[in-house]
């Protein structure tokens, strides 16, 4: 789309004109005394105190409530590799969600590089200005290495939302769907269609939450992942070692034969015949946007509970249920990292918000439910203390 094709009266472009964020002062600057306290000479005393005790930055700067939203523009929504500048509206939107739902300030940082070493070095150099790092829309498999390396080297939380935000909400939804159907997570046979960032994180999260890895089958674009495959990345090879105990081979239809749960995070279409091969009364989460792997009406013919990533159907699996509260809780606890225990606690908190209103059309709360972020934040902060990563 060129500038000549942008309609200035289009409400989408009207809303985005000038961006969606601004910086506002939190202290008065009306008098000379105000200026001398907020800036020189008064600010020098604060600098000297932090130089002597760096932990004081948590109390006397914005780091205790501010995160960086970092992308390289390589996997932006359903748009793909659109680059750094074109990704900025999405990162601004992410920052607005942080502020709206959890009162976390966020700064979009769109890096004009897709080199892993350069991304890691840049974020490491920027990290002292922030209390956490939210990685966003970085394509697999590079995203795994970027997150791993930053998590190892930084003393603040690092969280790739495309992986873990989705995984947390999927676990919450599956917990409630299983409760509704009087099933135990450990007894469910689960097929995950998609082995990119979200698919691998979902699989890991489900296992951390109680799903039996032996009863999980993961598929990528070439079919079922298992020891028979010789074309696997290191991450997928680990999945081959820990899942698919039956040794299934073939395509997603074979993986779905007799399965209780389908979790689609691939974007590829799945035929109705394959879904019909699932066990009766199953669960289908078709999360690709804007076109789910299985049409929701088709899925409903064969499953007792259906969820999508879309807002125009019930049971929207939306990351905004997770990431604002996760970072609010991590920042409140001054956590040094985000553990699996903190993620599971977030999923449990999301599931618990539904509570008495649980039904086939309400296995997760609305993304706009104001109870979600505070519940998630409290659970995450408590889990951080339990896991020994909290500094307060």
Q: Are 186 and 222 in contact (CB under 8 A)?
A: no
Q: 35-67: b or e for each residue (b if 16 or more CB lie within 10 Å)?
A: eebeeeeeeeeeeeebeeeeeebbeebebbbbb
Q: Are 322 and 350 in contact (CB under 8 A)?
A: yes
Per annotation, catalytic residue among 94, 99, 184, 236: 94
Furthest C-alpha separation in the chain: 75
Q: Are 76 and 86 in contact (CB under 8 A)?
A: yes
Taking the CA atoms of the chain, what radius of gyration do you get in angstroms? 22
Active site residue 343: no
| DSSP code, position 360 | T
Half-sphere exposure (Cβ direction) of 152: Cα atoms closer than 13 Å: 8
Distance CA 171, CA 174 (A): 5
State phi, psi for 286 to the nearest 5 degrees: -105, 100
Token pair for residue 293? 């792997």
Distance CA 127, CA 129 (A): 5
Q: Which helix (H) or strand (E) holds 98?
A: helix 84-102
The dihedral region occupied by 386, where left means phi > 0, alpha psi between -120 and 50, and beta the remainder, is alpha
Token pair for residue 151? 């998590």
Active site residue 94: yes
User: Starting at the edge strand that comes first in sequence, how are the strands of the sheet with 216-220 ordered?
Assistant: 223-224, 216-220, 190-193, 261-264, 282-286, 303-308
Torsion angle defined by CA atoms of residues 246, 252, 257 and 262, in that order, rounded to the nearest 10 degrees: 100
Per annotation, catalytic residue among 20, 39, 184, 236: 39
Measure Cα distances from 45 to 36, 58, 130, 203 in Å.
11, 16, 21, 50
Residues annotated as catalytic are 39, 94
């Amino acid at each position: 789309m060129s500038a000549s094709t942008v309609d200035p009266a289009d409400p989408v472009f009207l809303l985005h004109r000038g961006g969606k964020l601004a910086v506002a002062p939190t202290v008065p600057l009306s008098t000379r005394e105000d200026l001398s306290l907020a800036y020189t000479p008064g600010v020098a005393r604060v600098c000297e105190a932090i130089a002597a005790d760096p932990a004081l930055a948590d109390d006397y700067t914005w780091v205790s409530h501010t995160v960086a939203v970092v992308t390289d523009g390589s996997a932006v929504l359903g748009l793909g590799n659109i680059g750094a500048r074109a990704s900025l509206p999405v990162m601004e939107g992410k920052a607005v969600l942080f502020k709206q739902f959890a009162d976390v300030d966020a700064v979009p940082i769109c890096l004009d590089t897709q080199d892993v070493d350069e991304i890691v070095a840049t974020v490491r150099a920027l990290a002292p200005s922030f209390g956490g790092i939210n990685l966003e829309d970085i394509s697999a498999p590079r995203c795994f290495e970027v997150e791993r390396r930053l998590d190892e080297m930084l003393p603040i939380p690092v969280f790739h939302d495309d992986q873990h935000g989705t995984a947390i909400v999927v676990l919450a939804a599956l917990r409630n769907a299983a409760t509704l159907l009087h099933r135990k997570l450990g007894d469910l046979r689960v097929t995950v269609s998609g082995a990119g960032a979200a698919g691998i994180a979902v699989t890991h999260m489900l296992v951390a939450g109680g799903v039996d890895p032996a009863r999980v089958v993961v598929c990528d674009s070439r079919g079922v992942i298992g020891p028979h495959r010789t074309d696997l990345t290191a991450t997928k090879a680990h999945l081959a070692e820990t899942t698919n105990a039956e040794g299934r081979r073939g395509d997603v239809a074979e993986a779905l034969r007799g399965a209780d749960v389908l979790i689609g995070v691939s974007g590829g279409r799945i035929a109705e015949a394959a879904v019909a091969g699932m066990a009766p009364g199953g669960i289908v989460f078709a999360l690709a946007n804007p076109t789910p792997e299985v049409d929701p009406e088709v899925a409903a013919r064969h499953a007792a509970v259906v969820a999508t990533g879309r807002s125009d159907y019930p049971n929207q699996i939306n990351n905004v249920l997770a990431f604002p509260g996760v970072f609010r809780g991590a920042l409140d606890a001054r956590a040094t990292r985000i553990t699996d225990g903190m993620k599971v606690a977030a999923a449990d908190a999301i599931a618990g918000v539904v509570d008495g209103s649980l039904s086939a059309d309400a296995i997760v709360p609305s993304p706009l439910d104001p109870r979600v972020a505070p519940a998630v934040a409290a659970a995450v902060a408590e889990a951080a203390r339990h896991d020994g990563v909290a500094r307060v």
